Amino acid sequence: MLHILVTTAFGLEELLVKELTSIIPGCETQQKPGQVRVACSLKDAYKICLWSRLGNRVLLQLAQGKMADVQGLYDIANEVDWSSHFRVQNTFAVDFFGTNRQIKNTQFGAVKVKDAIVDQFSKKSGFRPNVDKKTPHVRIQARLNRDIVAIYLDLSGASLHQRHYRTERGVAPIRENLAFAMLMRSGWVDNNTLPIVDPMCGSGTIAIEAALYSRNIAPGQSRNAWGFHNWLGHQSDVWEDLVSEAHAEQKTENAPIFASDVDKSMVQLAKQNAKRAGVDNAIVFENCDALEYSVDVDKPGFMVSNTPYGERLSQLTSLIPLFQKWGLQLKQHFANWQLALLTSNRDLFRQLRLVSKKAYKLKNANLDCELVLFDMDARNCEVLESEQGQHNDFANRLKKNKQKSDKWLKKQDINCYRIYDADLPEYNVAIDCYDDWVVVQEYAAPKDIPEHKTVRRLHEVLAVLPEVLSVDAEKIVLKVREVKKGKNQYEKLDQSSELLQVFENGAKFWVNLHDYLDTGLFLDHRITRQKVRQLSKDKRVLNLFAYTGSVSVFAALGGAKTVTTVDMSNTYLDWAKNNFKLNSLRYGYHFIKADCTSWLQKHNEKYDLIFIDPPSFSNSKSMEGTWDVQRDHVQLITDAKRCLAKGGQIIFSNNYRNFKLDKSIAESLGLRIENISKATIPEDFKRNQKIHHCWLFTAVEE
C-alpha cells in the first residue's frame, strides 16, 4: 500500500473525502486543512489522478521523519533511494512548504532537499541531475509541519485543476476544482438529471464542469503530461488500461445545461473552451443580461454562478442596483429553483432580498469567499412592498433634500452642488452632484463602529441614489474620505484622466471625479470665489496655494489687472492653465510653481488682493520643512501683509475644524479683521457650519 497525499483548496477537504471514497470504495482517509491522506495501491493512485475533480496534487510519500535541525532535513531527504525513482539524465525541481525555527525560508528548505538529492546521485554515479524549475521531468515536494518533514514525489505534475480546456480565463475566473465544488455543494451532483443554469458564465467553467460530470468524462483523460511519466516506478500498462476504461464509460447524453453572459466576447470564449473540453454540444449558450435571462424547462433545477464581487469600491455603484433588479428577476422566473451563488462580498446579496439556507466558506485563489445557497420557495419568491421602491430613512431624507435643492437651484447659475452631508449620523457620507454625475464620499467610520454596519449602510446609500436622484448607476463615483494631512488630500486614487466640464456663475471648470479624492473644485468656496470676483476689478491679485486655479479664474473674470497663481504642483498648475483657456482668459496671467511659504518670504511685489487657502498640514518633499496652519498662520499672514499694497485686502481661509485665529495680528500688522465664515458658506453647505473658516483682512491706511 502506498501513502498518498491529495491536496486541494481550503474548504474543499470534506468534499474531497467524499470524492475519494467514491473513486476508491472502502478506502480509509485522514483529513486536514487543504489535504486528505489515503492509503491505496498504485492503480488507485492513478485513478485519483484521472478522476479527481477536486484535487490539486497527488503526492506519493517517499520519506517522513522528525528533524531537529537543518542537517536533519538533509538526512531525511537522503533516506530516499533517488536512483530508484528517476534517472540522473532527468531534470527535477523541489517545492517546499512550511517553516519553523530551523527552516525560516522555504527557498532555503528546497535547497537543502535539492542538495541531498544531488549529493546522493554524485556519490553513486559520479554524475548529478540538473534542476529545471519550470518544466522538470520529476517534481519533488517537501512539506514541513513543526518538526515533522515529509518528502513526496508529485504524481500529478501540474495541478489537477488544470483541465487544459481554458486557454484564456476571462475576467474573475474560478478554478475548475472550485467550480465542481460549487456543483457538489449546490446539490446538483446528487440530482444531475435536473437542469442547471449559470447566468453569469464568464469563460464557462461551471457549465463545462457540469457537462464533463454529466457525461462521465474523466477530467484528467485529456492531459498529455503527468508527473509519473518519468518516474521509474510508473506502470504504463496499468495507466493505459484505466484511460481506455474511462473512454468506454463516457456517456453521450447529459442533463439540460444552460450558460449565459452579458458580454458577447465571454460567451464566444466559453464556447471555445467547451469545444476544447469536448462538450460544446452539451451546453446551450446565450448572450443575455442576467436581469432578463430565463430558461424554458419542464422542471425547476439548479442555478450555480460565480457572481461579481465588487472588490473595488467603484464597482459597488453599479453592482448594488444590479443585484436589486436581479433579485426581482429571480423571484419572477426561477421559482422553486435551488441557487448556489459565490461571492466575496456577502453584503451584496442583501440586495437580492432572499433568505439563504446555508453558506460555505471557500477560497477563490487568494480571496475569502462564501458559497451561499438559496431555496426559491414561496417565501423567497414573495415580492415585498419594500422592494418596489426605496423607503428607508436615508431615502426619505435624500428626497426632502432634493426637493429643497430643486427650488434653490432654479435661482442659481451652477450645475455642481452638495445635496447631502451626513445629515443622518448613521449614514455618514457626503453626496455631491456634478451635472449628471454623483460623487459619494464615505467618511471613515469611528473605530468603535463594526465594519459590517458601515458596509451595510453604504450599500443602502448606493441602492437609493439611482432612483431618488434619477442618475445612471454608472455615473456614481464612490470615494472614502479619511482624515488626511497636508497634500495627502490630493493623492491620486485612479488613472482614468477623465475630465468633466461644469459651470458656476458664468465660469467653466474642468473637474476630475475619479482620480483624486478632491475633484478640482471646492464647492464650499462658491461664495468666496464670488467675493474675490467682486473685489478684483482693476486689482493686482495673488492666489496662494492655488490648487486648480478656480479663484484665479474668477479674479480674472472680475476684471483684475493681473492675476498671479502660485502652487507647488505642476499637475494643478497645468489644470489651472486649462481652466483659464476654457474661459478664454489668455493674457496677463502668471503661473508660478513654488512652495508658497518660502516663495512669499522672498517675494517683494505688491498686490491689492491676496487670497490664501492653505492646507491644514503638509510635509511635502517640495516644501522647506513642514506646514501646520495653526502653528504657522501668523508668519504666513505677516509675509502676505508685507506684499500688500496700501488699502489692500487679504482673504484667508482654511478647513481645519479646530482652527483658532491669533487676533493679535490685527494690532501688530495694522489689519482690520472681519470674520466672514458664515457669510461665505453656501446654502447647500449650511448643515455643516465648520466646513471652512474665512476672514477678510483689510490694511488700515496710516
| pLDDT tens digits for range 118-148 | 999 999 999 999 999 999 999 999 999 999 9
- What is the share, in percent, of the chain residues with pLDDT greater than 90? 83
Q: How far apart are alpha carbons 86 and 591 in whole angstroms?
A: 73
pLDDT surpassing 70 at residue 488: no
pLDDT surpassing 60 at residue 449: yes
pLDDT surpassing 60 at residue 490: no
What would the mean pLDDT of 303-321 be, rounded to a whole number?
84
Q: How far apart are alpha carbons 572 and 160 in whole angstroms?
A: 53
Quote the mean pLDDT of the chain. 93
What would the mean pLDDT of 610-628 be, rounded to a whole number?
87
- Please report the domains of the chain, with CATH numbers, ordered by start residue: 2-154 (3.30.2130.30), 176-216+251-388 (3.40.50.150), 393-482 (3.30.750.80), 500-699 (3.40.50.150)
Q: 589-593 and 607-612: which strand pairing?
A: unpaired
Asked if 213 contacts 192 with a C-beta cutoff of 8 angstroms, the reply is: yes
pLDDT tens-place string over residues 235-291: 999 999 999 999 999 999 999 999 999 999 999 999 999 999 999 999 999 999 999
What would the mean pLDDT of 93-122 be, rounded to a whole number?
96
pLDDT tens-place string over residues 526-574: 999 999 999 999 999 999 999 999 999 999 999 999 999 999 999 999 9
* Residue 673, beta-bridge partner list: 697
pLDDT surpassing 90 at residue 366: no
User: What is the pLDDT at residue 314?
Assistant: 66
Tell me the pLDDT band of 447, cut-offs 50, 70 and 90.
confident
What would the mean pLDDT of 190-197 be, rounded to a whole number?
97
Q: How many residues are recorded in the chain? A: 702
pLDDT surpassing 70 at residue 83: yes
Least confident among 470-474, 481-485, 564-568, 676-680? 481-485
Three-state secondary structure call for residue 678: helix
User: What is the pLDDT at residue 647?
Assistant: 93
Helix 550-557 vs helix 570-582: crossing angle, to nearest 10: 30
Q: The pTM is what?
A: 0.81
Q: How far apart are alpha carbons 359 and 676 in whole angstroms?
A: 58
pLDDT surpassing 80 at residue 110: yes
pLDDT surpassing 90 at residue 397: yes
The grid coordinates listed for 397 are 431624507
User: What is the pLDDT at residue 625?
Assistant: 79
Q: How far apart are alpha carbons 118 and 64 in whole angstroms?
A: 19
Residue spans of alpha helices (H) in 499-569: 526-535, 550-557
The total of other beta-carbon atoms located within 10 Å of residue 44's CB is 18
Residue 559 backbone zone (phi > 0: left; psi -120 to 50: alpha; other: beta): left
Question: Which residue is associated with the grid cell 473552451?
Answer: 273
The grid coordinates listed for 307 are 457572481
pLDDT surpassing 90 at residue 505: yes
Three-state secondary structure call for residue 167: coil
Asked if 382 contacts 376 with a C-beta cutoff of 8 angstroms, the reply is: no
Three-state secondary structure call for residue 78: helix
User: What is the pLDDT at residue 487?
Assistant: 41
Asked if 131 contacts 177 with a C-beta cutoff of 8 angstroms, the reply is: no
Tell me the pLDDT band of 448, cut-offs 50, 70 and 90.
confident
